[in-house]
Structure 1
Amino acid sequence: MSLIHGGDINGYIMQYGKPPLDFSANINPFGIPHGVKAAVAAAIENADAYPDPLCRKLVNAISQFEGVPSDCIFCGNGAADIIFRIALALKPRLALIAAPTFAEYEQAADTVGCKIKLHHLKAENDFMLTNSIIEQIDSNTDIVFICNPNNPTGQTADVELVKAIADKCRECAAVLVLDECFADFLDEPLKYTFKPYLNGYGNLIILKAFTKLYGMAGIRLGYCLCSNIDITQQLKKAGQPWAVSSLAQAAGIAALKENDYVKTTRELIKAERKYLYESFCKLGIKVIGSQANYIFFKTDAEDLDSILKDYGILIRSCSNYHGLDNTYYRIAVRTHGENQQLIAAIKHITEIHR
């Protein structure tokens, strides 16, 4: 399976000689907040010194923001860094992954020679996670990866289902890695987060990232929450000590203060997600899930991603996800003008190929 992701702007520029309108990466269309830019600029003055390997100021800020003790927090070079550290630290022998989903779970597990067991989400159920996954968790399962909301489908699992999965994992001595990196884009994020149950599950790791919500993909900063201090200590030992730069630490501290930015972002995403959904429906395109800041859809127009490149637009083909083909695509929710440009291009393409 190819591990190419969205957001390959550089590859597009090399081919077309100009930057695209990028719908392929699920990044906040507002870009990096001004407060974060200012914090990074100020932090450059001290960039000649090594960063704090323990990220103490950042961890304290996250602790206050999340309402979680600081010793239950570990920061990394993006959520992907933490996923790989989890594999390196815990060295699981068998991983259960609900697919299609984020490719890094499988890649990280494969790095340590871990056997992969896929729980295939069904197209006839719109790729919803159901309690059927619980039957696949047994005493041989070392680790389970769940993405909520799931990438690329945008489907969510309710707290009751996640709790049942966590209970079965605990019963079987398996670690549950719950990726909530896109939860902040939900209309009701508090309704879906499993954070209130953190203290009750020593086998639970919740992943979070600054990448998407704060438009900080190039800065690389993520963190995890885990009440099992032994696990957080193992994560610290599983990689290099200076994984989080001083600039990233300053950016994270500043980002957590951007309440108005987050509020405005959620308002935009909610309105524009509705606009895109309705626009796709008018074009006869099936939209699946899509409760976060991206739209997952199926169309008869094969190679739509390649055709849209000639319109200056990048979208994410989902053909390299398990169980999907080149009729499935994912687009980020962007500003209204940008979304209108995308819809106009797709409408033109569908009319030509009718």
Structure 2
Amino acid sequence: MTMQTQEHGGDIYSASYRMDFSVSINPLGTPHSVRSAVIRSTASLGQYPDVRCRDLRRKLSDRFRIPAHWITCGNGAAELIFAVAQAVKPQTALLVCPGFSEYERALRVAGCQDLRFYLCPRSGGFRIGEDILEQITEDIDMMYLCNPSNPTGILSDQELMVRILEKCRDNKVVLVVDECFLEMTSDPSRHTLMGYIADNPNLLILRSFTKTYAMPGVRLGYCITNNRQMTDRIRDSIQPWPVSIPAQMAGEAALEEEDYLKEARELIQKELRYLKQSFEVVGIQFYDSAANFLLFEGPKNLLELCAKKGILIRDCRNYRGLGTGYFRASVHTRRDNEELCGVLSDIYRTSGHYLTDRAFRARA
């Protein structure tokens, strides 16, 4: 079976799969209250949505204890990534690699002429080092940074994140921090830069309902900045009525689901430990994710081999800084995770593709 390079996860439409590990959404599934809200929203399909998303922004404002006018809602975080780039129109930008490919696409569409890349070394587990500070200079207009990283799931050191923010502020660099996966780490409040928004008009934070509440079919994301001029330009860059009534009502319902989030975080951390332990036993080289997915290495045809077993994983070859032989699998419930580990164990045993010293010793 020959498969095309994946641009994104979640492509269950090109072929039939029993299990989809390619897209990293909450393993608890969509909350019942969100499903109910979408059903109720059908009564309002004959009217236009609130172009300003007032009720949704008010709820987000209450949750984060920030002014509602700092918040802009969009048709998923992806739309906002492009809108932010259009609003800033940087000539020079800095990207951390490996990283989400849409940052680069958005910058190129916005006419950015000089893209610079900070490569997180494999030898350091793809972690950002202090040497990134040397690349934040006054000739940089904009920087995208994902925390936790996609596709590695690695959380950056909070002290280093603050130093990056300060260096960006001192050099008048717009810093866009993508926190779309942060809510599913064990302690989001320890790693967010949300508390620095008020004093840093060059800081913009991106978040999404998609991953956190398992609702990718309802496109909904938001960005936060205290920079009023930037907010106005972002809104001018977005199409009219970007968020539908079903999406707005789904978001409002999701923000009430505190117990759901707590349960999800506990499940994700438990199952993430299980996957790491299982991968170690099999001999799979993986990286120390804190999020609801795991980056690992394997034979270059692993995508096809898993597909033959009815399992879809994410081939990460299109992530700048990775190349062939890197894959990502999302955290599911125990039964699904056991199925994944069983399939990978069979494939690795057959191919002899053992990557860790422990695995070599165990089979010596």
Counterpart in 2 of 1:236?
235
- Find the partner of 1:4 among 4, 7, 32: 7
Counterpart in 1 of 2:341?
343
Q: Is the 8 A contact 1:83 1:108 kept in 2?
A: yes
- Find the partner of 2:32 among 34, 39, 45: 34
1:93-118 Cα shifts (integer Å, max 9, x gaps): 11100001011100000002202111
Counterpart in 2 of 1:254?
253
Whole-Å separation in 2 of the counterparts to 1:316 and 1:222 = 22
CA RMSD, aligned part only?
1.1
Aligned length: 347
1:122-178 Cα shifts (integer Å, max 9, x gaps): 001110011211111112101001000000011111221111111111111110000
Counterpart in 2 of 1:302?
300
Counterpart in 1 of 2:130?
131
Whole-Å separation in 1 of the counterparts to 2:101 and 2:333 = 27
Counterpart in 2 of 1:141?
140
Whole-Å separation in 2 of the counterparts to 1:305 and 1:7 = 13
Counterpart in 1 of 2:188?
189
Whole-Å separation in 1 of the counterparts to 2:7 and 2:106 = 15
- The structural deviation recorded for 1:30 is 2.1
- Find the partner of 1:45 among 43, 65, 69: 43
- The structural deviation recorded for 1:91 is 0.7
Q: Is the 8 A contact 1:303 1:326 kept in 2?
A: no
**What pairs up with 1:261-300 in 2 under 5 angstroms?**
261-299=260-298
Whole-Å separation in 1 of the counterparts to 2:14 and 2:92 = 35
Counterpart in 1 of 2:359?
none
**What pairs up with 1:67-106 in 2 under 5 angstroms?**
67-106=65-104
- The structural deviation recorded for 1:264 is 1.3
1:264-299 Cα shifts (integer Å, max 9, x gaps): 111110110000000000011112121100011123
Letter matched to residue 181 of structure 1? C
Whole-Å separation in 1 of the counterparts to 2:337 and 2:281 = 15
1:209-249 Cα shifts (integer Å, max 9, x gaps): 00001011110000011011111111111121201001100
Do structure 1's residue 64 and structure 2's residue 67 form an aligned pair?
no
Letter matched to residue 28 of structure 1? N
Runs of 4+ in 1 over 2 A off after TM superposition: none
Whole-Å separation in 2 of the counterparts to 1:325 and 1:244 = 35
Q: What TM-score, normalized to structure 2?
A: 0.93
Q: Is the 8 A contact 2:77 2:207 kept in 1?
A: yes
- SS at 1:233 equivalent: helix
Letter matched to residue 335 of structure 1? T
Q: What TM-score, normalized to structure 1?
A: 0.96
Letter matched to residue 306 of structure 1? E
Counterpart in 1 of 2:21?
23
- The structural deviation recorded for 1:37 is 0.6
Q: Is the 8 A contact 1:9 1:20 kept in 2?
A: no
